[in-house]
Structure 1
């Protein structure tokens, strides 16, 4: 961290004058977002020139997430470079198995990978319309994994109690690691396409897909290219906006998976208010917001996976680094066949957006 900067004062000046987001201010200051928040730990609360204060939290992540239920209704935010997923609800039914956590509360539906969590903070920021309270968690590179924002109906006493229970008064200075360079994905020398397609054809659960990729030591996008047109077809990237607009118009309930290495956040249900704004396509519903940067989508694929419930089909979006941005499915529960209206919607996307090959 650049100690020559008075980061709290600079942050407040930039936030008030330019209305920039935290991550954008951090980028402009040449630090990570975690370093930006950490710089506000222990600042004086009576200094009007500083609008934000933060408390470092103990790395007892599963216990902390379980305690979030006491806050009542909150807003969960998970993002990557191209997509922001915001969902309101209560953190019911939290559990953990090793380094993997779950929150299965219906509205709040999370898959958590705690091995990637490095630092966390309770944050209070004074804004023009009042105090914004949140919990914010970051990876080793200082990139945000997950944020939880209190709502007007949230329990403020429980928030204060959570801070008292989890404050880390003896935390070591924040150590930020440079992000590992992205390696170009290549097929293994001994890759057996026939065996790979047989394994895909033999899938019985969508969750088996990840173990299949590990078995064949192949990246997700390379797997789609090797699967054959029965199981994966590439569309032009305009399909991303059109599938959301069509789902809203036809009121087809969908599932939207968005995440990063440390978190996957899921919306299940209809979408209604879908609006394009510049490069963004936005879902602006009462309990669910999605902000998708269409100009950062490099690939869009229809993907079909066999299961014991029949084929399960998705639209999967990737960035220029072949990183997964988000996945869209028809809403379904295990044991249910895929919705016919979702299958028809994807067929429509295929008709309109199938990428022609030279």
Structure 2
């Protein structure tokens, strides 16, 4: 990101006042600052800088009761209503496995965090907002009417930083890595793929073969991967809505992955956005950002893991939709029947 030090916090607040109709992310881009800088500029005006470490945040937010968890990228927004709990700490990766809120957290990217309160005619709107080193949003927690608002002041008192800096120093955004393909290692990839017993082994084997996820998908071929038409995700969501087959929908950035487990019911198209609008779960997908889609099959000890995965033009993964398997029921076969009929891509990369 370009040097924005010449823009003062007062300038940023004035721009916010002039552009109340714009979303924070869009306004930040218009001003030429990161969203994190935009939020920080309101310190002392309803915003408080708090500890960004997930151990601290996840230790405090269960007291808020029912909230909305939000994780997003420029291409997709994933929102779940529930309560935080069953937090499992980790130096490199942590988890929340509670109620409807299911997260995988990567602490090194939780760099800035703020408790944000905005006064409206309907009452105060409150949220916890976490940003990475570049000031890009990693995870947000929005209080709802049913939340325990009486715990808000205690949370701030517990987490507030001694230094309240309304112009934090952000780092340049790290550009995404393009697909890393090694066609010369195709046979090694297929052999290692066939020997997997857990999906978590996939990233280890691609790293060993000097590929990344998209590069490996382009190289592997049948029976592990089938490239699908760019419209496949929209078609699949339509089929899921009409059948109520339970799935797991993963959306993440480099700091947080958020997962929905269950059916999809209500779809609504608004401009370029394809929206899931269900009680407790909303998904907002820029379908026009999808450049490549793959049907992916990975062997595991519990049976085949089947997913449909979409990538943008820069090779960044947008979302993954998996067949759902629980201790009580296996819906992978039902999901597979919906996936089987998806159109393949006419041109293979």
Band of TM-score, shorter chain: over 0.9
TM-score, normalization: structure 1? 0.91
- Secondary structure at the residue paired with 1:6? helix
CA offsets 1:32-88 (integer angstroms, 9 cap, x no match): 101001110013xxxxxxxxx210012333122122111000000000010000000
CA offsets 1:242-270 (integer angstroms, 9 cap, x no match): 11111010111111000100000000001
Q: Does 2:346 align with 1:356?
A: yes
Unpaired runs of 5+ in structure 1?
44-52
The residue number in structure 2 matching 1:163 is 156
Paired residues of 2:53 and 2:110 also in contact (CA < 8 A)? no
Q: Does 2:274 align with 1:281?
A: yes
For 2:173, which of 179, 191, 200 is the aligned residue? 179
- Alpha-carbon distance change, 337 to 207 in structure 1, aligned in 2, over 3 angstroms: farther
Paired residues of 2:24 and 2:35 also in contact (CA < 8 A)? yes
- Alpha-carbon distance change, 192 to 60 in structure 1, aligned in 2, over 3 angstroms: closer
Alignment of 1:266-277 (within 5 A): 266-277=259-270
Alignment of 1:63-142 (within 5 A): 63-142=56-135
| Equivalent residue pairs, number | 342
Alignment of 1:328-347 (within 5 A): 328-333=321-326, 337-347=330-340
Q: Does 2:4 align with 1:11?
A: no
Q: Does 2:315 align with 1:322?
A: yes
Q: CA deviation at 1:166?
A: 0.6
Q: Does 2:264 align with 1:262?
A: no
Q: CA deviation at 1:27?
A: 0.9
The residue number in structure 2 matching 1:56 is 49
The residue number in structure 1 matching 2:300 is 307
Q: CA-atom RMSD, angstroms?
A: 1.8
For 2:38, which of 36, 39, 47 is the aligned residue? 36
Paired residues of 1:78 and 1:259 also in contact (CA < 8 A)? yes
Paired residues of 1:309 and 1:337 also in contact (CA < 8 A)? no
- Secondary structure at the residue paired with 2:319? strand
Unpaired runs of 5+ in structure 2?
none
- Alpha-carbon distance change, 72 to 306 in structure 1, aligned in 2, over 3 angstroms: same
Q: Distance between the aligned counterparts of 2:9 and 2:70, measured in 1?
A: 32
Paired residues of 1:310 and 1:337 also in contact (CA < 8 A)? no
CA offsets 1:290-310 (integer angstroms, 9 cap, x no match): 000000011111000011122
Q: Does 2:196 align with 1:203?
A: yes
Q: Distance between the aligned counterparts of 1:327 and 1:184, measured in 2?
A: 18
Q: CA deviation at 1:157?
A: 2.0
Q: Distance between the aligned counterparts of 1:4 and 1:130, measured in 2?
A: 25
- Alpha-carbon distance change, 168 to 142 in structure 1, aligned in 2, over 3 angstroms: same
For 1:22, which of 17, 20, 24 is the aligned residue? 24
Q: Distance between the aligned counterparts of 1:316 and 1:140, measured in 2?
A: 27
Q: Distance between the aligned counterparts of 1:340 and 1:4, measured in 2?
A: 54
Alignment of 1:206-285 (within 5 A): 206-285=199-278
Q: Distance between the aligned counterparts of 1:217 and 1:334, measured in 2?
A: 35
Q: Distance between the aligned counterparts of 2:158 and 2:323, measured in 1?
A: 40
- Secondary structure at the residue paired with 2:347? coil
Q: Distance between the aligned counterparts of 1:265 and 1:309, measured in 2?
A: 23
- Alpha-carbon distance change, 89 to 193 in structure 1, aligned in 2, over 3 angstroms: same
CA offsets 1:132-159 (integer angstroms, 9 cap, x no match): 1000000011000000000101111222
Q: CA deviation at 1:336?
A: 6.5
Q: Distance between the aligned counterparts of 2:9 and 2:112, measured in 1?
A: 23
Paired residues of 1:310 and 1:338 also in contact (CA < 8 A)? no
Q: CA deviation at 1:129?
A: 2.7
Q: Distance between the aligned counterparts of 1:270 and 1:213, measured in 2?
A: 31
